[in-house]
């Protein structure tokens, strides 16, 4: 956790820090670009100038996104840049649950996923098994926005399954969710 908090103080004062240096710092904090991706992939999506601007927000977005074509492989195993305006029907909460479990790299053993999302009828739920026990979550429907309370449920489940890991999120409309390694 201390390494993760180092991001708040590293490279202060607005000095120019390259994306390579940012990625090294983030890797030291447990957030590593998957080996199949490289800086040129990020430059192709965002441009060198934007990536080298001060701050870490765009570096976190880059790490948290997926490749921009099938099979949509995450750039980082344990970081997710998440658009909260994503409810498109059945399968929407299922994808969230599966990615949340993936990010814990085995610490949150979820299986048997089912969900239902009907924006027009204002009904949504998610069901899965965690350590063999059935978990059912009724979700609030607000147009095509995810119910933000869903993430708290995964935080609680992870705390029970592996108290040495935690989810960290930013307070933005789009979310950075992470389970830093280490």
Q: Do residue 30 and residue 90 come from a single domain?
A: no
Give the Cα separation of 46 and 37 in Å (integer). Answer: 14
Q: What is the pLDDT at residue 15?
A: 58
Q: Cβ(60)–Cβ(172) under 8 Å?
A: no
Q: Do residue 103 and residue 44 come from a single domain?
A: no
**Domain contains 168:** no
Give the Cα separation of 137 and 52 in Å (integer). Answer: 41
Q: What is the pLDDT at residue 84?
A: 84
Q: Which token pair is 84?
A: 């909260």
pLDDT tens-place values along the chain, 182 residues long:
434 444 444 444 455 689 999 999 999 999 999 999 999 999 999 999 999 999 999 999 999 999 988 998 999 999 998 888 888 999 999 999 999 999 999 999 999 999 999 999 999 999 999 999 999 999 999 998 999 899 999 999 999 999 999 888 766 655 666 776 65
Give the Cα separation of 26 and 6 in Å (integer). Answer: 9
**Domain contains 52:** yes
Q: Do residue 157 and residue 96 come from a single domain?
A: yes
Q: What is the pLDDT at residue 82?
A: 84
**Dihedral sign (CA 137, 142, 143, 148):** negative
- Last-in-domain residue among 18, 51, 76: 76
Q: What is the pLDDT at residue 181?
A: 65
Give the Cα separation of 133 and 151 in Å (integer). Answer: 19
Which secondary-structure segment (H or E) carries 61? Answer: helix 57-64
Q: Do residue 116 and residue 152 come from a single domain?
A: yes
Total domains in the fold of the chain: 2
Domain that residue 158 falls in? 84-162
Q: Do residue 57 and residue 12 come from a single domain?
A: yes
- Last-in-domain residue among 76, 106, 140: 76
**Domain contains 172:** no
Pair type for strands 110-118 and 79-83: unpaired
**Domain contains 176:** no
Query: What is the DSSP code (8-state) at residue 114?
Result: E
> Per this entry, what is the length of the chain?
182
Q: What is the pLDDT at residue 176?
A: 61
The model's pTM: 0.82
Q: What is the pLDDT at residue 158?
A: 95
**Domain contains 48:** yes
Q: What is the pLDDT at residue 128?
A: 99
């Amino acid at each position: 956790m201390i390494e993760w908090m180092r991001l708040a103080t590293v490279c202060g004062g607005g000095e120019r820090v390259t994306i390579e240096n940012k990625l090294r710092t983030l890797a030291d904090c447990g957030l590593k670009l998957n080996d199949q991706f490289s800086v040129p992939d990020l430059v192709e999506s965002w441009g060198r100038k934007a990536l080298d601007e001060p701050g870490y927000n765009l570096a976190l977005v880059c790490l948290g996104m997926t490749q921009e074509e099938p099979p949509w492989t995450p750039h980082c195993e344990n970081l997710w840049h998440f658009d909260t305006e994503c409810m498109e029907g059945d399968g929407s909460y299922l994808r969230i649950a599966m990615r949340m479990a993936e990010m814990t790299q085995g610490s949150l053993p979820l299986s048997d996923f089912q969900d239902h999302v009907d924006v027009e009828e204002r009904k949504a739920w998610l069901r899965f098994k965690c350590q063999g026990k059935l978990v059912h979550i009724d979700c609030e429907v607000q147009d095509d926005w995810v119910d933000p309370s869903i993430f708290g449920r995964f935080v609680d489940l992870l705390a029970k399954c592996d108290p040495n890991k935690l989810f960290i999120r930013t307070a933005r409309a789009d979310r950075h969710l992470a389970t830093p390694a280490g």
